[in-house]
Structure 1
Amino acid sequence: MKILKEINQNIEFFGRYKDQIFFTWNKSSALELETFLENIREKHLNVRFQKFISTNAQFLNAYIENQQGQLYSRVHYDPNIPRYTLPYTMSHSKSAHSDWLRAVLILAVCYCTLVDDFQQERIYLELAYLINSYSLLFVETHVKHFFNYFHAQIMRYSANQSIYDKFRQQWFKFVEQ
């Protein structure tokens, strides 16, 4: 946890998963970054890391990019994994896939900074279910439930970026509670 505190004081955005940490660095010089990393190495001898410098990166199925100083992100799909497939479940597949649909819609809200990317992801998910023999009623019911739960029925088909930004802010506040 000490490393996260150090990172949080010096950067703009970070993510973690198990023993992996991802962070962006927007300070002025590469020397500052090297000094920061060297301090971590000295304080935490067991920590190993790989430095990757770029304007974009993929981390945990997220594509993250610095677009002229603005953070842009969307869902990223590994090109080696077939599209439109659902995760394998051994039993109660309808129930498991229902939970998975809600989870990936939530993930899309987290990852997609632009409304167009979010809507494209929503459509992709709906198609994935239809292609895998789920009924239109199943898809409609679960997607509608997702938007109703967050009191955001208007977002189902909206292409308005400001409405989407408010929806995301509402969602992030909900998660913080």
Structure 2
Amino acid sequence: MKTQWNIFIAFFRVGMLGYGGGPSSIPLVHKEVVDKYKWMNDEEFGDLLALGNTLPGPIATKLAGYIGYRVSGLWGMINAVLATIIPTIILMIILLTSLSSIKEFDWVQGMTAAVIPVVGVMLAVLTWQFIEKAGKGMGWIPAVILGGVVFILLQFLSVHPGIIIGVLIVFALMKKDKNDQLDKQKEGDPS
């Protein structure tokens, strides 16, 4: 029961504080799952985030569903997803009923403006952690080259991110298949 409570609280906090959508939720999920409860390590979280980004739909609910299932099975998954979406549902009902009457207040406009740099810093920290992981895993030169190529494709050539992700997945699968074949050849080679 304590595990279910921890899952609910962790993802409820993410749902309440993830102002700005999925990108702002990712560092919050990381903080809860990796740093606080230690349900995963950084590498596992990075792999999960990469996989979650290849699938359609909101990233926060995908992360919650997988992590909840991993920690506590089907009930953990249901608990985590509900904990993630309940704050949004409640806040949307409240805000939509009162938005037109409060959107002109300075404090509302200030709150909206202040969130942007906070989310930017949270994403920058998470980005740096992934850059470090890529540098350690692939080597710094290939990681920087791949990052530069992807940046050019996205920013200057306007290639859809889904196409880039798809191509990289196919490339990774082909490389894995080639490595598996080499491993089998080494096992079969008596020399």
* Larger strand fraction of residues: 1
Higher relative contact order (CA 8 A, sep 6+): 2
TM-score, structure 1 as length reference: 0.29
Highest Rg: 1 or 2?
2
